[in-house]
Amino acid sequence: QVRPVESGGGSVQAGGSLRLSCAASGGTFGNYAMGWFRQAPGKEREIVAAINWSGDSSYYGDSVKGRFTISRDNSKNTVYLQMNNLSPEDTAVYYCAGSTRKIHWTVTDSLYDVWGRGTQVTVSS
């Protein structure tokens, strides 16, 4: 089964930018809807952004609207999350996930059935 592999996390100062990548290992993302989630210490996992199979429709959580951009390159089997104007509140482990059951994006995390191991993003003030 395909497994998402995240990269691009790291430490950055407030106001900075990072671009996360999610590559397919052991297969392709095909027509999966894809999403980025994050979980901060002591908090529940939340959806950050999601994108449909073709890349022409996306969703953003309220806390990241206008700052983050999700995109995908199906020819490279890779999904991206461009994060701009980062704040300490964005500090979390970021996970990439795919839904083998959905081609359109969904905010329901139980519908995502392939998950990466996560990449740490730390934003200092």
**pLDDT tens, residue by residue, 4-42:** 999 999 999 999 999 999 999 999 998 999 999 999 999
pLDDT band at 77 (very low <50, low <70, confident <90, very high): very high
- Name residues whose C-beta falls within 8 Å of residue 31's C-beta, 6 or more positions apart in sequence: 53, 103
pLDDT of res. 30 = 82
pLDDT of res. 32 = 95
Beta bridge partners of 70: 81
Q: What are phi and psi of 111, to 5 degrees?
A: -90, -5
User: Smallest Cα–Cα separation from 57: which of 18, 22, 101, 106?
Assistant: 106
> What single DSSP character describes residue 107?
S
Q: How many CB atoms lie within 10 A of CB 35?
A: 31
